[in-house]
Amino acid sequence: MDQLQQIKQRIDRLRSALDEHNHRYYVLSQPSVSDFEYDQLMQELINLETRYPEFFDENSPSQRIGSDITKDFQQVVHKNPMLSLANTYSLEELKEFETRAKKIVNEPYEYICELKYDGVSISLSYRNGLLIRAVTRGDGEKGDDVTANVKTIKSIPLKLRGNDYPDEFEIRGEILLPHEGFQKMNEERISRDEPLFANPRNAASGTLKMQNSSLVAKRPLDCLFYSITGNTLPYQQHFENLMKAKDWGFKITQHIKKCRSIDEVLGFVNEWEEKRKSLPFDIDGIVVKINSFDQQSRLGYTAKSPRWATAYKFKAEQVLTRLLSVDFQVGRTGAITPVANLEPVLLGGTTVKRASLHNADQIALLDIRINDLVYIEKGGEIIPKVVGVDKGKRDFHSKPLEYITHCPECGTKLIRLEGEAKHYCPNESGCPPQIKGRLIHFVSRKAMDIGLAEATVAQLYDHDLIKNVADFYSLRKEQLISLERFAEKSAENLIASIENSKKVPFHRVLYALGIRYVGETVAKTLAVEFGSIDAIENATVEKLISVDEIGERIAESINSYFADHENTDCIKRLKEHGLQFQINKAVQKGTTLSGKSLIISGVFSQHSREEIKEIIEQNGGKNVSSVSGNTDFLVAGKNIGPGKLEKAHKYGIPIISEEELLDMIREKKGS
């Protein structure tokens, strides 16, 4: 094969890979590589196409901007294109940005330095002080009309303040998901056994594309603004217009700086490369703009980006280490997760020995092989992940990694459901990790709250004492004492804990069953709507979908669960043991705490933490996971966390005891 053929093959591979990345990022909102890796691939393609014009292709990824347009929303053409910014990755490239600009406008500049938010770009149109339309970036020329969803974001003004705003203008910003809200959303997805959002940007993007705006309203999205366009703006400078927009009610970050020289710009960049971790949301760089509209106009645009602005991108922290082997883990739903075993390496202050490989597609895309030197990245991710391979140091005799075809635990042939990236083991009733996973989920604190560690559950299973969740209620003290680490007292405690779990309310029992996609929130919704397990079992898919927050996927999963005789036989046994399979009509929801947000901390004498949370919810209150200025009460027990106590004092939040909470409820009910 001659050199030209090799170059043509490389160009074709780059185009194919970039097309795949575009689809995952813009269409599926499931990015598979970091921005840095994507930009490096794109730059390599552009360089090759420039050097070898005979291989030009008008459909090459280099000729267009990726699109996030879906068919579910009306498409709207932007009055002014939403162009992307040119990216720089070094301080030297920032200086080159100044050098290029001075060739066109040789006079002093004012630079405006802003944080580059890692979220979803949005363009809002206002007329006579009212929000009339919200459109996503899309392909830069046109985007999706998501006005109904955007109106649910509380930081976005629907009606402007004052009376000195233009009759008509557009303002652009970034829709974000702050860290606290992102963590809470992922905790909820864990409880529903759903795939976790990889990062806040992915979660924000997925939320903005939801069809039900009432569901969007329940997610803690925020929006920060960075640009205004219009014919009658009050100033001819970017910075001054942004500051004026604050008066109209827009959320403009305080972390914006006017700089007189490129050295001041470099200082701002260096400052935020260190400080970015202190922010409540993610940023991935710094945007540098020339302030004057006149100078912007003279500098103009390239086909894809303005010449008067650039983005300095922070590189996510990466390290290089060797891939020793790959494990294939089986979850309680049968999902197969490949995990890389690595030579231990320090990353972000912790020693990393294992990292996610995501799925078969990602392994093939990166062409990962055993003994490769691989790049590990944390960035904004939940766990470390493998993001690249140093192929220049690869062993010549290495072979592509073959993804398993059968379950590593039970040998069953794996399946891959349409539209899903993961492989699954379909042997739900005979695959040990799946069975153990369901047993562990059943006894967990938020489910039946039976005092059993994961290792003990595995021990009971391995000794054939439990095979499904109903078997817990047939355990006898004599069986337990015969096991290692079980004394008479510990056996009695476990039997008592199992007996006490029969008082757990219906919605938690429903959650404990481990029906796929039925997490805590969905279980509560189903319990309130149907009232009993029998009503849920007899409900059609159509009836289930008619319930708010229950989509087709959840409904079909519930329907499939009750179609399995092993599941219905298990529920029959649980009923015979006395578990709660209908709402206790005696528990009436009060309104004593209506509209109040409470956080609990410490150990309590009269009730468990979960019981106190239920008491709060039964009386109209909302349980929150962290202290903020919006928290109404801190319910404090013994050994309260010092951090929460300090924040409560800082915000002036009333601190009440368990008894004071109960008295508050009793007094209100008695009045």
pLDDT in tens, 573-607: 999 999 999 987 555 456 788 888 899 988 787 88
Task: Give me the residues paired with residue 310 across strands.
Answer: 288
For the segment 287-304, the average pLDDT, to the nearest whole number, is 90
Domain presence at residue 100: yes
Distance CA 623, CA 634 (A): 10
Higher pLDDT, 163 or 473: 473
Q: Is the pLDDT of residue 418 over 90?
A: no
Task: Mark whether 347 and 389 lie in a shared domain.
Answer: yes
* Residues 259, 123 share a domain: yes
Average pLDDT, the chain: 87
Task: Check pLDDT > 60 for residue 26.
Answer: no
> Does residue 131 sit within a domain?
yes
Strand partners, 345: 352
In this structure, is residue 592 part of a structural domain?
no
Cite the DSSP H helix spans in 192-233: 200-208, 213-216
What does each C-alpha distance from 45 to 57, 86, 120 come to in angstroms? 12, 16, 26
Q: What is the DSSP letter of 1?
A: -
Is 494's pLDDT higher than 60?
yes
Asked if residue 399 and residue 293 are part of one domain, the reply reads no
pLDDT surpasses 90 at 406: yes
**CATH number reported for the structural domain that contains residue 606 in this entry:** 3.40.50.10190
Examine the domain organization and report whether 244 and 109 are in the same domain.
yes
Report the CATH number that the domain containing residue 383 is assigned in CATH: 2.40.50.140
pLDDT of residue 33: 74
Which pLDDT belongs to residue 513? 96
What residues contact 670, with CB distance under 8 A and at least 6 apart? Answer: none
CATH number at residue 476: 1.10.150.20
- Do 296 and 326 belong to one domain? no
CA atoms of 286 and 275, how far apart (whole Å):
12
Q: Which of 313, 347, 377 is the last residue of a domain?
A: 313
Averaged pLDDT for residues 313-336? 89
Look at residue 217 in the predicted model and tell me its pLDDT: 79
pLDDT exceeds 60 at position 199: yes
pLDDT band (50, 70, 90) for residue 277: confident
The CATH number for 301's domain is 3.30.470.30
pLDDT band, very low/low/confident/very high, at 21 (cuts 50, 70, 90): confident
Q: Does residue 107 sit in the same domain as residue 246? A: yes
Residue 65 vs residue 455, higher pLDDT: 455
- Other CB atoms within 10 A of residue 102 CB: 11
| Percent of all residues in the chain with a pLDDT value above 70, rounded to a whole number | 93
In a domain, 68, yes or no: no
Residue reference for tokens 């009060």: 590
Number of domains in the chain: 5
pLDDT greater than 70 at residue 669 = no
How distant is the alpha carbon of residue 568 from its chain centre?
34
Give the alpha-carbon dihedral of 324, 358, 352, 117, to 10 degrees.
Answer: 140
pTM for the predicted model, two decimal places: 0.51
Q: In the chain, what is the greatest distance between 2 CA atoms, to the nearest angstrom?
A: 91
Question: What tokens appear for 376 in the block?
Answer: 């590990």
Q: How many helices (H) and strands (E) does the chain have?
A: 24, 20
Contact 333, 434 (CB under 8 A): yes
Instruction: Give yes or no for a contact between 167 and 179, defined as CB atoms under 8 angstroms apart.
Output: no
What pLDDT is stored for residue 68 in this prediction?
Answer: 46
Task: Say whether both 325 and 308 belong to one domain.
Answer: no
**Residue 590 in domain:** no
CATH, residue 31: 1.10.287.610
Q: Answer yes or no: do 502 and 606 share one domain.
A: no
Give the relative orientation of helices 565-576 and 552-563 as an angle to the nearest 10 degrees.
Answer: 80
User: Considering the domain boundaries, does residue 589 fall inside one?
Assistant: no
Nearest to 433 by CA among 538, 524, 337, 574: 337
Domain limit, last residue, from 529, 547, 576: 576
Residues designated as active site: 116
Q: Which of 365, 392, 425 is the last residue of a domain?
A: 425
157/276 same-domain check: yes
pLDDT tens for residues 112-123?
999 999 899 999
Same domain, 332 and 389: yes
Q: CA torsion, points 225, 230, 235, 238, in degrees to nearest 10?
A: 40
pLDDT more than 90, % of the chain = 44
**In this predicted structure, what is the pLDDT of residue 584?**
73
Same domain, 666 and 647: yes
Same domain, 126 and 234: yes
Domain of residue 408 covers: 317-425
